[in-house]
Amino acid sequence: MSERAAPFYCPYCGDEDLRPNEQSHGAWECAACNRAFQLKFLGLLARGVQRTETGGDRI
């Protein structure tokens, strides 16, 4: 598993010209809109996949 989660696009402008920001872990810079943002993994949800009465999977 890699050390960084790499975003595919900027959450503010949608551009794909992103570069890692070395000030903190998971931080990225967008060259198009000149913004910096950070990705952070919060954890797994406890509910997981649940079965419905009809037999199908519900997420």
**What confidence tens digit (pLDDT) does each residue in 14-54 have?**
999 999 998 888 899 999 999 999 988 888 888 766 666 76
pTM of the model: 0.63
Quote the pLDDT of residue 1. Answer: 45
- Structure tokens belonging to residue 35: 């913004």
- pLDDT reported for residue 59: 62
The answer to whether residues 39 and 59 touch, using CB atoms and an 8 Å cutoff, is no
Q: Residue 13: which of 37, 36, 32, 39 has the closest Cα?
A: 32
Identify any residues that bridge with 56 across adjacent strands, giving them in sequence order: none
